[in-house]
Amino acid sequence: MIITIENQTLDTDDITQLYPAAMIKTGYNYEVTQISLEWIDMQEGNTDVTVVNYAIFIHTRDRSVTHFPYQTRTALQEAMDALAKQING
């Protein structure tokens, strides 16, 4: 099955992992890391956690990782909903 995310087409047969995540500052220089949305939800109100953006991450058989960043959680959710429609028909 071929899916499209942000005008990029991908074959689902090549995808090994696909997941949403938040990108947060680690506190070390300009370094950021991905973290689960569930963890971010548990950190609500914690001023020590700074979300840089949200993203859909895709790992493929050739061991490459592509991510599609979104500035807001709402934009991420809209992209995930559109992706789900493609996959579920």
Read off the pLDDT of each residue in 46-72 and give the average, rounded to a whole number.
Answer: 95
% of the chain exceeding 90 in pLDDT? 85
DSSP 20-50: EEEEEE-SSTT-EEEE-HHHHHHTTT-TT--
pLDDT in tens, 11-23: 999 999 999 999 9
Indicate the average pLDDT of the chain: 94
Indicate whether 27 pLDDT > 90: no
Q: Which residue has the higher pLDDT, 43 or 17?
A: 17
Note the pTM of the prediction, 2 decimals. Answer: 0.89
Helix (H, G, I), strand (E, B) or coil at 78: helix
Place of tokens 């506190």: 27
